[in-house]
Amino acid sequence: MSRPAFPATAADYQALARARLPGFLCDYIDGGASDEQTLRANVEDWHGVSLRQRVLVDVGKVDTRATLAGQPCALPLALAPVGLAGLMAQRGEVQAARAAQALGVPFTLSTVGICPLDEVQAATSVPCWFQLYMLRDRGIVRALLEKAWASGCRTLVFTVDLPLPGMRHRDTRHGLNAGGLRPALVRARQALARPGWLWSVALGGRPLTFGNLSAQVPNVRDLDAFKHWVDSQFDPSVTWADIEWLRGLWPGTLMLKGVLGIEDARQALHVGAQALVVSNHGGRQLDGVASTARKLPEIVQAVGAEIEVLVDGGVRSGTDLFRALALGARGVLIGRPWVWALAGAGEAGLRALIASWQRELLLAMTLAGVTRVADIDSSHLDRVAQCATP
């Protein structure tokens, strides 16, 4: 994959990121579960959604603005939570939050990010969204919710598809799933091959701790110790009753991320969630499940009139964003693309990527003959390939 002098697409930024990051971080971001069938399908199945071009329509004033979770946005796009994003660029979550605010889209801070919530909020004037998992220690969950609310967060993105981590073979090959000296040496060798990253991030980006969990995790600076703690905290016994408990604690918008079926979408509505994200965790959990492009239409048809439906997984352009809207989504979350842009070209690169997607969305709307995001629907599809139909 060659490095472009002037990056234009998400793939261009991916090439820049792979040239700058140690190998284990590249594969941590790029990899999926098992044979990565779902990872590939997430990207490919958007391409099966064909758009309908229109001509001689008055498109003199096209407006990409939208509202997501009650928040006005320059376009219906949000930056998804990505764990360890602060290892991809110096104080990565802070840079991403600043870029998102500058371009008018929400940023979601992961519980397992490097930069703590207080630091991210201090760098921006618009509160971020906050992502959380259900941990065995409900006291930690309660404390994190209270801190998020006190800091100004009003949208909670609660991840529901991680009772256990998926089988991510790329991480295994780099020793990320094992402790001890040999895996540490493998990672160290890869880091030494990227002196720019060592200087800017490993040294200049300190402290490299899991900031939101510093009060809860013993040896928070130790990656192996952190992994052991996280593995012990994932709770496979969580049920919808726990989400009802959560709903009682969180007075703001509750968005459930990781819904992939009609039954679960209806249950999300039943427990009081105001929004859901059709997601298979970027193909990082159960390999072989359907792509989000396939599942989105049936979920929108089942509950879209009663709950805000967003989608993530495989969206790689503003045109893909248009496709998602035409299939019924209110908006899109992106993960890998924003990390590639940040790692490859810094905050300026991420701003450029978001701005490029906004231009692509505007162009798609213009050529499809639609002037408002709210008016994009299935009438703007020429055909929906079998992969994207219910």
pLDDT, tens digit (0-9, with 9 covering 90-100), for 265-302 = 999 999 999 999 999 999 999 999 999 999 999 999 99
Give φ, ψ of 135 to 5 degrees. Answer: -100, 155
Summarize the confidence of residues 141-149 as an average pLDDT.
95
Summarize the confidence of residues 251-277 as an average pLDDT.
98
Say if residues 343 and 16 touch (Cβ distance below 8 Å). Answer: yes
Tell me what pLDDT residue 210 has. Answer: 85
Percent of the chain whose predicted confidence (pLDDT) is above 90: 85
β-bridge mates for residue 308, sequence order: 275
Tell me what pLDDT residue 385 has. Answer: 45
Of 388 and 294, the structure prediction assigns the larger pLDDT to 294
Read off the pLDDT band of 213 (50, 70, 90). Answer: confident
Q: How far is CA 90 from CA 31, 120, 171, 278, 354, in A?
A: 22, 13, 22, 31, 20
β-bridge mates for residue 155, sequence order: 253
Summarize the confidence of residues 127-140 as an average pLDDT.
93
In angstroms, the CA 312 to CA 80 distance is: 8
Per-residue pLDDT at 227 exceeds 80: no
Q: Would you call 270 a catalytic residue per the annotation? A: no
Catalytic, out of 174, 228, 281, 380: 281
Both structure tokens of 51: 């758009």
Q: What are the chain's domains?
A: 22-388 (3.20.20.70)
Do the strands 129-132 and 155-159 form a parallel or antiparallel pair, or are they unpaired? parallel
pLDDT tens for 355-386 read 999 999 999 999 999 999 999 999 999 964 44
pTM of the model: 0.95
In angstroms, the CA 369 to CA 365 distance is: 6
Summarize the confidence of residues 70-77 as an average pLDDT.
98
Q: How far is CA 192 from CA 189, 195, 198, in A?
A: 5, 6, 7
Element (H, E) at 79: strand 77-79
